[in-house]
C-alpha cells in the first residue's frame, strides 16, 4: 500500500501466504527446521515483490511466535537475509494496534464505535 493524501492508503499489491510459523514451535519452545524453511521460502518470494519499493516504505515485523521462540534470534538473522530488509519483533500491544488498523482500514470513517476481533 502507498500513502496517498493525509493518512489515506492505496493498495498497490496484495499477496497472502499461510506459513503457520507458530505450528512449528516444539515442546521446548524452538522453531522446527521445517517451519523455518517454509517461512524463509515465503520471505524470498516476498523479496522479489518488494524489489521496486523504496526501503524506507517497508516495515517487516515478527509477532507472537517470534516473541515466544527460544531460537528466534538465529532464525531472524536468516529471515532478514531472505527478505532483504530488517525485521523487528514487536510487542503484543503493537501487534494488536496494527491488527486493528489493518482491519479497520476498509470500514467507513465516522463517529460510530466499531469492534474489531482478532481470532488468529
Give the DSSP per-residue string, 12-29: ---------GGGGB-TTS
Chain center to CA of 28:
24
Burial class (CB in 10 A: 0-12, 13-18, 19+), 96: middle
Pairwise CA distance, residues 22 & 72, whole Å = 12
Q: Quote the pLDDT of residue 15.
A: 84
Give the residues of the chain that fall short of pLDDT 50: none
pLDDT of amino acid 7: 62
Residue 100 pLDDT: 87
Candidates 51, 42, 54; CA nearest to 15 is 42
Residue 114: CB partners within 8 Å, gap ≥ 6?
Answer: 104, 107
Amino acid at each position: 500500500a502507498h500513502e496517498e493524501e493525509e493518512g489515506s492508503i492505496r493498495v498497490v499489491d496484495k499477496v497472502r501466504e499461510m506459513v503457520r510459523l507458530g505450528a512449528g514451535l516444539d515442546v521446548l519452545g524452538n522453531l522446527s527446521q521445517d517451519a523455518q524453511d517454509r517461512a524463509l521460502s515465503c520471505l524470498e518470494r516476498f523479496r522479489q515483490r518488494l524489489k521496486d519499493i523504496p526501503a524506507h516504505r517497508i516495515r517487516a515485523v515478527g509477532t507472537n511466535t517470534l516473541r515466544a521462540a527460544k531460537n528466534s534470534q538465529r532464525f531472524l538473522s536468516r529471515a532478514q537475509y531472505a527478505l532483504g530488509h530488517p525485521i523487528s519483533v514487536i510487542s503484543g500491544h503493537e501487534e494488536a494496534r496494527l491488527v486493528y488498523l489493518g482491519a479497520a482500514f476498509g470500514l467507513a470513517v465516522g463517529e460510530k464505535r466499531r469492534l474489531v476481533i482478532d481470532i488468529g
